[in-house]
Amino acid sequence: METTKIVCNKEFQIDRVDSRLFGSFLEHMGRVIYSGIYEPDNRNSDDDGFRQDIIDRVKEMNVTTIRYPGGNFVSAYHWEDGVGPKENRPHKLELAWKSIETNEFGTNEFMKWARKTNVNPIFTVNLGTRGTEDAAHYLEYCNFSQGTQYSDLRRSHGVEKPYGIKMWCLGNEMDGSWQVGHKSAEEYGKLAAETGKVMKLIDPDIELIVCGSSLSSMDTYPEWDMEVLDKTYDIADYLALHQYYAGQEKGTKFFLAQSLDMEEYIHTIRSVAQVIKKKKRSKKDMKFSVDEWGVWAVPSNTVNNEIDDKPWQIAPAISEQIYTLEDALLFAEMQMVMLRNADAIKIACQSLLTNISACIMTEKGGGHWLQTIYYPFYYFANYSKGIVLNTTSVGPTYCCEEFDHVPYVDSIAIWNDKDGELILFAVNRDEDNEQMTDFVLSEFTVDCVIESISMTATDKKMTNQYDHNAVKPKNVDNVELYDEGVHMVLEPLSFNMVRLKIK
């Protein structure tokens, strides 16, 4: 059997991992908020109505950053509806998902939850139905100390000290025709530039994220990104990229090869940003925020039917995707793509945290269980600390629809220089065969194997929906040390992590 050879040298480094790469996303959609993280009547909830069992899981996952409150939801949202006494908050038609928003959970509830959960917030302002003035008022409410209309409004709501929220998205997916207030790149770019200018007058220390393309398949990609950056390069700190993949019906080889599209997507946008940098004669390197990403397992027509069948309800159960082993492998590959671009991608938010395209599923009035995708997130977030290494790989490949020369083994190496560990991640895309993998280590001397885990299943379509422990990692003895490095045997269709102690 042919072996995949991966050369790994301590001196060949991409960049240090930004902890914000392990973020997630909360939107007022379906049961993400209500009965997802907030359910006052649940036996697991604390005095503030927050589900303590979910807070514990988020800490265990090591989620570092949460984007809020949307998402499509934000493009018609009035933030003022979600602050102040709950008995005075209005019920509103929520246009993005055709539901009723009670506004029982809003800005101050989210910030209290974020502090209990130890996550950094990313707030999104409404540039769909509102604009610059509203964004300035929202920032004033959140970040200005006192003595003005909106800072004093916050203080009247029992929050004396400003939140000091540092990361702000200027709208959401404004390139999408589905977006309330959809705009052309020129319209959005001008609005985002003016909004960002005003917001930085109020708080010069904030970081601003402008909307890039919502998918690599958008008709306007990459012209949208070029036009928006041309308008906002001086004021923006990050360009947002969103990406979801489906296509399970096209077969495993195609489905798992889609991470190559994500790699190309990111490389293209990085090139676009470099062109605008030169055009502007700027010294600033644009950074990127993949603040919505994930695997999509529900056909869009099904989601639309669910919404149409349950219009104008409060927190209806819609688009509650159940993930397979196969889905978890592509999910892990997407995480590796972002880590391989750690020199440019500094923020990433897996979408969403609970119940919709989620790591965690909750039972209304009951407990919770973990999806297959929870485990790759957990291992990357807890062990990808240090420096991403620039590895070179050669080994067996396959071809399929749209993709040529797809490696059977996808991998990445992280050098944790602080703790003296080398962490190796690998996915075996081959559904029929084990894959032999040699990590050839240069400038490293391995002392021992700390841990080796593998996640696979007897059926690639297996989920954790009924047997909550059906698909989860296990400790394995699949690593052999030799003079030049490490030999690993990867099970068919498996996610793997090995931690090595370095002398």
Report whether pLDDT(305) > 80. no
Report whether pLDDT(86) > 90. yes
Contact of 21 with 62, CB cutoff 8 Å: no
Q: How far apart are the first and last CA of the chain?
A: 32
Report whether pLDDT(467) > 80. yes
Report whether pLDDT(302) > 90. no
Report whether pLDDT(300) > 70. no
Q: Residue 56: enclosing H or E segment and its boundaries?
A: helix 52-61
Instruction: Write the pLDDT tens digit of every residue in 369-414.
Output: 999 999 999 999 999 999 999 999 999 999 998 999 999 999 999 9
Give the whole-angstrom CA distance, residue 275 versus residue 173: 22
Q: Where in the chain is CATH 3.20.20.80?
A: 18-383
Active site residues: 173, 292
Instruction: Write the pLDDT tens digit of every residue in 236-295.
Output: 999 999 999 999 999 999 999 999 999 999 999 999 999 999 999 999 999 999 999 999
Q: Where in the chain is CATH 2.60.40.1180?
A: 3-10+387-502
Report whether pLDDT(297) > 90. no
Q: Return the pLDDT at 184.
A: 98
Report whether pLDDT(67) > 70. yes
Contact of 428 with 491, CB cutoff 8 Å: yes
Architecture per CATH, domain 18-383, reads as: Alpha-Beta Barrel (3.20)
Report whether pLDDT(303) > 90. no
Give the whole-angstrom CA distance, residue 503 versus residue 445: 6
| Residue 306 pLDDT grade (very low, low, confident, very high; cuts 50, 70, 90) | confident
Q: Return the pLDDT at 307.
A: 81
Q: Is the dihedral of CA 77, 82, 83, 87 positive or negative?
A: positive
Instruction: Write the pLDDT tens digit of every residue in 9-24.
Output: 999 999 999 999 999 9
Report whether pLDDT(337) > 70. yes
Q: Return the pLDDT at 298.
A: 73
- If one counts every other C-beta atom within 10 angstroms of the C-beta of residue 8, the result is 24
Give the whole-angstrom CA distance, residue 145 versus residue 161: 6
Q: Quick one: DSSP state of residue 85?
A: -
Q: Return the pLDDT at 304.
A: 74
**Fold entry, domain 3-10+387-502:** Immunoglobulin-like (2.60.40)
Give the whole-angstrom CA distance, residue 77 versus residue 276: 32
Instruction: Write the pLDDT tens digit of every residue in 207-240.
Output: 999 999 999 999 999 999 999 999 999 999 999 9
| Residue 483 pLDDT grade (very low, low, confident, very high; cuts 50, 70, 90) | confident
| Residue 206 pLDDT grade (very low, low, confident, very high; cuts 50, 70, 90) | very high
| Residue 418 pLDDT grade (very low, low, confident, very high; cuts 50, 70, 90) | very high
Instruction: Write the pLDDT tens digit of every residue in 89-140.
Output: 999 999 999 999 999 999 999 999 999 999 999 999 999 999 999 999 999 9
Instruction: Write the pLDDT tens digit of every residue in 144-194.
Output: 999 999 999 999 999 999 999 999 999 999 999 999 999 999 999 999 999
| Residue 447 pLDDT grade (very low, low, confident, very high; cuts 50, 70, 90) | very high
Give the whole-angstrom CA distance, residue 371 versus residue 465: 8
With b for 16 or more beta-carbon neighbours within 10 A and e for fewer, the 180-212 pattern comes to bbebebeebbebbbbbbebbbeebeebbbbbbb
Give the whole-angstrom CA distance, residue 288 versus residue 271: 12
Give the whole-angstrom CA distance, residue 443 versus residue 245: 38
Identify the weakest region by mean pLDDT among 80-84, 198-202, 306-310, 454-458.
Answer: 306-310
Contacts of 88 (CB under 8 A, 6+ apart): none
Identify the weakest region by mean pLDDT among 362-366, 480-484, 496-500.
Answer: 480-484
